[in-house]
Amino acid sequence: MATRVVQAEVPSSFAAEAGAILRRLDYVLLGVMAALIAYGLWVLGAVSRNDVPGEPDYYVIRQAINVALGTTAFVAVTFVNPESYRRYRKPLYAAALFLLTIVFVADAIRGTQRWIDIGFFRFQPSEVGKILLVLVLAGYLADCARRIEEWRTTLTAVGLAALPAFLVFIEPDFGTALIYAAALAAALFVAGTRWSHLLALAGGTVTVALAILWVLPTAGLEVLRPYQVERLTGFLNPDLDPSGATYNVTQSVTAVGSGGLDGRGVAGASQTNMNYLPEHATDFIFSSLAEQRGFLGASLLLLLYALLVWRGIKTIALAPSLFTATVAAATVFALVVQVFVNVGMTIGIAPITGIPLPFVSYGGTSMIASMVMVGLLEAIHVRGRLAGRS
């Protein structure tokens, strides 16, 4: 009889905890994520319907599977107390370095080594690495809260981020390395790092950039790959080689501009349908959206991102601890930078980097990682409300 009582109490306790979590979810944030995913699937179906002959839904079906996997991960992360990650920041950091290192033994795809092909799924470790890095940085800075104004704390945090960012940079994946740097900046700012330290780091970043782009090449030491140099050169001078180095951005700007106010429709979007616009289901999906649905369709997507950021900022304010506030801030800022860089490169105000558009670009790892990031925000929001008993 006693055994039956104990067995009955466990699911009852779990049910009570699950109910408390469900009552305190940020349903606005959840709804915005769902709207972004639904809108992204709709856009992907329209821009990719001619990409695989005889299979107009090829990419949509596979992206829907990615969403299902991402939903499982989202639920799991939401129900885990985010403070638990703080205790395991060292194993998480080791896992991030391991994932970013083994990618170099994988076969290169299009001249880069960003993916691990496991048969039924192509896995991109750098997407997972940015989430792990956020947790590691937040854990370290929270543990060093009393020494946050010391240079040693700041430089150690920079070192923790520099190694994985360097591994991503040499894949090469400059765009994602930039996201890692953005997460570091947000984490340091929210943790309370001195302004003098932040300004010094900004100056150091500019110095390193100048060395990579100008000083070292002048001395005969090329750091960037030739195609990366072409992208940067093309960004500074878009008319330099419209049929070569600047072809992608030229076609992208043309597609965006031709959409007008309400777009050319699916059938009339010649840049997309005739494949003039490369990677229109992944890197340049925003350009295809603007061509097909015009300014109004693109604005709706950007409005959804703005709502996502708004709810993320509210989560930062509600966070119950320095650790969770830092995780939320780094997560939100990483998403903001990712959207800005992707949209910026499609309209010619940022260099082409190959960063996917969260929840919209085709790709399994990107979709799952984006949903996990929102799951972290939900988990923090729930614990914040539980702490306030609201």
pLDDT digits (tens, 9 = 90+) for 282-341: 889 999 999 999 999 999 999 999 999 999 999 999 999 999 999 999 999 999 999 999
Can you tell me the mean pLDDT for 132-154? 95
d(CA 266, CA 279): 17
In a domain? residue 141: yes
pLDDT at residue 285 in the model? 93
The β-bridge relationship of strands 122-123 and 116-117 is antiparallel
Name the nearest CA neighbour of 284 among 55, 52, 48.
48
Query: Residues 326, 312, 335, 72: is their CA dihedral positive or negative?
Result: positive
In a domain? residue 79: yes
d(CA 135, CA 84): 10
The most confident of the ranges 47-51, 81-85, 267-271 is 81-85
Determine contact, residues 127/366, Cβ cutoff 8 Å: yes
Amino acid at 55: E
In a domain? residue 159: yes
pLDDT at residue 3 in the model? 43
Say whether pLDDT at 245 is over 90.
no
In a domain? residue 205: no
Determine contact, residues 42/64, Cβ cutoff 8 Å: no
Determine contact, residues 173/189, Cβ cutoff 8 Å: no
Determine contact, residues 376/54, Cβ cutoff 8 Å: no
Range of the domain at 286: 36-193+225-388
pLDDT at residue 332 in the model? 97
- For the whole prediction, is pTM greater than 0.85? yes
In a domain? residue 87: yes
Peptide bond into 172 cis (omega under 30): yes
> For residue 195, what is the enclosing H or E element?
helix 195-210
Query: Which range among 4-8, 152-156, 165-169, 348-352 shows the weakest confidence by mean pLDDT?
Result: 4-8
Say whether pLDDT at 2 is over 60.
no
pLDDT, the chain, mean: 86
Say whether pLDDT at 186 is over 60.
yes
Number of separate domains in the chain: 1
Say whether pLDDT at 120 is over 70.
no
pLDDT at residue 10 in the model? 46
H helical segments located in 243-357: 247-258, 265-268, 270-273, 285-318, 322-346
In a domain? residue 8: no
Say whether pLDDT at 95 is over 90.
yes
In a domain? residue 24: no
Strand partners, 116: 123
End-to-end CA distance of the chain: 38
d(CA 322, CA 153): 15
In a domain? residue 219: no
Digit-coded pLDDT (tens) for 8-47: 444 567 777 788 888 889 999 999 999 999 999 999 999 9
